[in-house]
Amino acid sequence: MAAGGGFCALAGPMKLDIRLPEPPAVLRRGPFRAGAFRDTLHDPRTAVVVGRLLGPAFLVCFLTGLFSHVLQHQPHWLALPARPVWGYRVTQGLHVATGIAAVPLLLVKLWVVYPRLFAWPPARSVVHALERLSVAVLMMAAIFELGTGLFNVVQWYPWPFPFVPAHYWIAWVAAGAITLHVAVKLPLIVAHWRRPRGAPADLEGPSRRGLLTVLGAGVGVVTLATVGQTVTPLGRVSVLAPRRADLGPQGLPVNRTAAAAGVFAAVRDPGWRLEVIGPRSFALSRAELSAMPQSRAVLPITCVEGWSASAHWSGVRIRDLLERAGAAPGDRLRVFSHERFSPYSVMDMPGEWTRDPLTLLALTLNGAPLAEDHGYPARIIAPNRPGVLQTKWVARMEVVG
């Protein structure tokens, strides 16, 4: 942006060569008419005040979403902590909560600035045209991110493209567009960040205060109505939360059932055995796994859709299984599920988790054998991990070093 500013200072803005025509008479009587928008709320001060709320919401949503993506697609060279056990529960809860809260903020922001869509001429110079183009990109990216994010919360995907990569890359587009927009508008933002010194509060106008009051109430309502899927004490009042933490088999929600995964034949096979491939490979039945030393842990399971719930798990520590297979402490592990047609049917577990004593091959949930929908006969449960990496219906584990 500094280079762009220097260019304009030296050469002046490049004017468009083509003279733009006056709008047709029908438009001159409509929104393109000078003074068509007289409401004081369509002003820079209101836009900046709403932007002060929307900007941090987008920033928190972007950073927590980036953390979630890195956890799900962790590079081998990047070490991430397995603790605190509730880490991902907090970050993903914030991601979804701020994303939902950003919806009314974005709608109000668009309402405040929409008269500028009818400015004539549409572009006064090349620089102005590029600025307006960047704003269009920002609007489309923001709407796409919030819209697809909401659909993901309810697990409805009415589009032909994969959600995760599209949501991830458009988030970078939105972040870049926001950064560019803030840089271009920085003088205006600074000028209207505070009420002019010495100006009485009454000059703010009751309509602006009323708008901000209604906006704050709207954000509070949508947040309170949905955040209970993460903050379990608020579950009873979160009437719009897609999932309640206490609903589902064994008191825990289910994203994907055994029927949907098509694993009944495998998990109901009386001859089921867990294969562990390593320097000293072996296979164990569920009864033999149950005869091994059992560990217990209270761990949350947190899904990318935002819901989370804690539960009591028991089973065999992963590091004990790896030791029996002749693996070195902290070796990576690859876990295979009986579910075949899923992007998460194979999961890589870094050493930070394989050596953690709370990472289990779980056999029981809340004091009872795992229900089929929760991963019977055995599943992975680990601290500070997304739910999609807590592999259910485990078939095989391979030490990959």
Segments making up each domain of the chain, as ranges: 8-234, 250-399
- Cα separation of 365 and 26, whole Å? 68
For residue 307, give the DSSP letter: -
For 197, the 3-state DSSP assignment is: coil
Q: What is the 3-state secondary structure (H, E, C) of 100-137?
A: HHHHHHHHHHHHHHHHHHHCCCCCCEHHHHHHHHHHHH
Number of neighbouring beta carbons within 10 Å of residue 213 = 11
- Phi then psi for residue 141, to 5 deg, are -65, -40
Handedness of CA 277, 283, 285, 288 (dihedral sign): negative
CA distances from 90 to 96, 178, 388 (A): 10, 25, 16
pLDDT at position 209 is 87
Report pLDDT digits (tens) over 95-117. Answer: 999 999 999 999 999 999 888 87
pLDDT at position 219 is 95
Contacts of 222 (CB under 8 A, 6+ apart): 100, 101, 103, 104, 240
The encoded tokens of residue 79 equal 């070490």
Report pLDDT digits (tens) over 41-79. Answer: 888 899 999 999 999 999 999 999 999 999 999 998 999
% residues pLDDT > 90 (the chain): 68
Q: What is the residue-averaged pLDDT of the chain?
A: 88
Q: Yes or no: say if 373 and 258 are a contact pair by the CB < 8 Å rule.
A: yes
The encoded tokens of residue 90 equal 């907090």
pLDDT at position 115 is 82
Hunting for tokens 């309502």 — which residue is that?
A: 221
Q: What is the largest CA-CA distance in the chain?
A: 85
Domain 250-399: assigned CATH number: 3.90.420.10
- Cα separation of 182 and 185, whole Å? 5
Q: Yes or no: say if 93 and 306 are a contact pair by the CB < 8 Å rule.
A: yes
Read off the pLDDT band of 205 (50, 70, 90).
low
